[in-house]
Amino acid sequence: MMVGFIGLGIMGKPMAKNLLKANVEVMGYDLNQEAVKEICECGGKTGSLKEIGENCDVIFTILPTGAIVQDVLFGKDGVTTNIKKGSVICDLSSVTPGDAKTCYSKCKEIGVGFVDSPVSGGEPKAIDGTLSFMAGGDQEIFDKLLPYFDIMGGSALLVGEIGSGNITKLANQIIVNNTIAIVSEAFVMATKAGADPEKVYQAIRGGLAGSAVLDAKIPMIVERNFKPGGKISINHKDIKNVLATAHEVDAPVPFTAQLFEIMQTLKINNQMNDDHCAIVNYFERLANVEVK
């Protein structure tokens, strides 16, 4: 069975490579031809969006925005132009629940299954195949995707109906990004007060303040390593989606609203391509100190 994989960026490329390592036939697509070439060198094939729709029974997409997902799937010469009935599309992108519901409805009209299943874990877990998949959709379609989730991830859960995957991802992004901001604020304060940030980290990581975010981001911050595993631009987009969804359902998110403005400041400072641990730079500028 041929699997289509559309979007070979920081997350998509290692995910597609893990499928290939497991002897899954993969047909890849990306605007970045270097990424496509790399997949082909690993044993994959390449094809147009239309060719992926015609030849692949299972298709994964992981793309920057919901608008791009819909254009890739339903636009001129898109994936669904001549797709086979009974095929399955799984969107791994972080979009809004409304985007997912639109794709589901359009796919259902043409006899194609659709699941929204954004992922968590960033580039490191994409590389080692331990991502967390949070899915929304029909149980029957989820079950067809489960063997591929098992190759690319460490866990996969069907949360509920279509859109539930992205609701879960938005909740995840609130927690992850606000935690990075609070960790940044705390370590800037500790550094400004004269404490060694590495020793502060070692002292608190085993207690209640310890977390996966703390362990992933503080080593990067103290080493001044802002190479992206999760770009600020992607998280900025996700937090914008959080605010839109929260406003739609009348759920106040005051901390996350402030976080969005912090990210706006980083955008003005041309830091959209940095890892989101660079949120610390906002607090460092306020205190005129570097955590290192």
Please report the pLDDT score of residue 161 as a whole number: 98
Q: Are 220 and 254 in contact (CB under 8 A)?
A: no
Average pLDDT over residues 189-198: 98
Task: For residues 174 and 187, give the distance between their C-alpha atoms in angstroms, rounded to a whole number.
Answer: 20
Sign of the CA dihedral with 200 first, then 201, 206, and 210 last: positive
pLDDT digits (tens, 9 = 90+) for 240-259: 999 999 999 999 999 999 99
Element holding 133 (H helix, E strand): strand 131-136
For residue 225 the two structure tokens come to 């390593």
pLDDT digits (tens, 9 = 90+) for 59-72: 999 999 999 999 99
Please report the pLDDT score of residue 122 as a whole number: 87
Q: Phi, psi (5° rounding) for residue 143?
A: -60, -35
Please report the pLDDT score of residue 230 as a whole number: 87
Sequence-distant (6+) residues with CB within 8 A of 84 are 53, 54, 57
pLDDT digits (tens, 9 = 90+) for 38-53: 999 999 999 999 999 9
Task: For residues 214 and 88, give the distance between their C-alpha atoms in angstroms, rounded to a whole number.
Answer: 37
| 172, pLDDT greater than 90 | yes
Active site (annotated) includes residue 227: no
Please report the pLDDT score of residue 40 as a whole number: 97
Q: Are 78 and 53 in contact (CB under 8 A)?
A: yes
Domain boundaries, the chain: 2-162, 167-287
| 130, pLDDT greater than 90 | yes
Given the residues 13, 17, 125, 169, select the one marked as catalytic.
169
What is the model's pTM? 0.91
pLDDT band at 17 (very low <50, low <70, confident <90, very high): very high
Task: For residues 172 and 179, give the distance between their C-alpha atoms in angstroms, rounded to a whole number.
Answer: 11
What percent of the chain has a predicted confidence (pLDDT) above 70?
100
Instruction: Please tell me the CATH code under which domain 167-287 is placed.
Output: 1.10.1040.10
Q: How remote is the C-alpha of 96 from its chain's centroid?
A: 12
- Assign domain 2-162 to its CATH superfamily: NAD(P)-binding Rossmann-like Domain (3.40.50.720)
